[in-house]
Amino acid sequence: MGGMVIDPLPTQLALETRRGNQVANYIDREPVRWGDEWQMNQYRDEYRHEEHRPVGPSRKYNCHGLTFASRRTTIEDAAEVLKIIGDDEYVSITYDEVMRGDIVIYFEDGDAAHSGIVIGRDALRVPIVLSKWGHCHEVVHRLPKCPYKVEDVRYYRITT
Amino acid sequence: MTTINEADLTRASQAYAVANTPIYLIRRLQEDPAVYEIAKFSGEDILQALRNAVRVQPESLLDYTRPYVYLVALSKLPSEDFLRSVDTDGMENWRWLPYMKQVLLETYSPLSTGTVLGELARLAPAYSELTRSDATLDSPPTLVLTD
């Protein structure tokens, strides 16, 4: 009797930029680990004035996966993020120009440490960002109210 | 602190939980006082702690964080030999370990970490370059169940 063949779920997706270059990505399908939930709740407490979406924790996607890959996978190489920015023809915009739909990248020493999607601005015109915090959860937060440094935040928009 | 296991890894775990990139984790661990406390132990002790940490089947956030902490602690020693001797083969549960080891070796400075910190992203090779063999789009291995 022949063996039953099972194709395991992929750990990487075919994810290409507009120019057709593959974007390295990874899906960790392991279940939630002990401590993940606790850590997530710690951040809920620490940033209690932000809006914590009832999702996660999840290692299937991270912030860059949310911003650039529709929550389908994890992009953990900053060089890949820069590849997307270039290949997809994002243009840099200023803080004053930022509006809903733009994206924001938090750089640290040139490393794209974090990213998110701008979904509005508050009464003081501070951008409000939807992002995912590592393998924790998604948060709608004011730009600086997150565990990432804000000394070098850049904004991008696709215009064509 | 009398043993490495007593180190407070709360801050390290917090950083690991929200790390989107391995460089981010390196940077946060390099800023963590616990790493410097651990680096006061001998290279042999830290290396042994790292070996023990990757031998267990990780169940908690701390289990996942510990090897990264010890690796960065090794990079704080006066000699890079212990860091270089870390065997990172077969680290499925700690996928960033080989890359972080390479970055730490390439940015290693026995005198200071301050200047190296800002150089991390510039000096570090692209993560995808180092993991290219794992990152191909070839068909995944086929699992065959036989009777």
What pLDDT digit, counting tens, does each position of B68-123 carry?
A: 999 999 999 999 999 999 998 878 889 999 999 999 999 998 764 444 555 565 55
The pLDDT, as a whole number, for residue B115 is 41
Could you give the angle at the alpha carbon of B93 between the alpha carbons of B88 and B97, nearest 5°?
A: 35
Contacts of A24 in chain B (CB under 8 A): 127-128, 131-132, 135
- Better pLDDT: A79 or B121: A79
**Closest Cβ opposite residue A6 in set B127, B131, B143:** B143
Min distance B57 CA to chain A CA atoms (Å): 12
Q: Which of residues 5-64 of B touch A (CB under 8 A)?
A: 13-14, 16-24, 27, 58-62, 64
In a domain, B18, yes or no: yes
In a domain, B144, yes or no: no
What is the torsion angle, in degrees rounded to the nearest 10, for the CA atoms of residue A129, residue A100, residue A26 and residue A150?
Answer: -40
Both structure tokens of B123: 């000096």
Contacts of B118 in chain A (CB under 8 A): 109
Beta carbon pairs, A and B, within 8 Å? 128
The pLDDT, as a whole number, for residue B63 is 92
The pLDDT, as a whole number, for residue A113 is 97
Range of the structural domain that residue B63 is part of: 4-134
Contacts of B142 in chain A (CB under 8 A): 5-8
B27 pLDDT tier (thresholds 50, 70, 90)? very high
Residue in the block written with tokens 């243009």: A91
State how many domains chain B has. Answer: 1
Locate the chain A residue with the closest alpha carbon to B135: A24
In a domain, B141, yes or no: no
Do the chains contact at A133 and B117, CB–CB below 8 Å?
Answer: no
B92/B110 Cα distance (integer angstroms) = 30
Q: Which of A48-57, B120-129, B134-143 has the lowest mean pLDDT?
A: B134-143
Position A112 pLDDT exceeds 80: yes
Q: Three-state SS for B136?
A: coil
Min distance A146 CA to chain B CA atoms (Å): 10
Interface test with A, best of B9, B14, B20, B137 (most A CBs within 10 A): B20
Do the chains contact at A34 and B60, CB–CB below 8 Å?
Answer: yes
Mean pLDDT (chain A) is 93
Do the chains contact at B127 and A24, CB–CB below 8 Å?
Answer: yes
Percent of chain A with pLDDT over 90: 82
The CATH architecture to which A36-158 belongs is: Alpha-Beta Complex (3.90)
DSSP state at residue A49: T
Position A56 pLDDT exceeds 90: no
Q: Is the pTM of this model over 0.90?
A: no
Q: Which helix (H) or strand (E) holds A155?
A: strand A152-158
**Closest Cβ opposite residue B20 in set A1, A79, A134:** A134
Contact A66, A131 (CB under 8 A): yes
B18/B13 Cα distance (integer angstroms) = 9
In a domain, B74, yes or no: yes
Cβ neighbourhood burial of A61 (10 Å; 0-12, 13-18, 19+): buried
Position B59 pLDDT exceeds 90: no
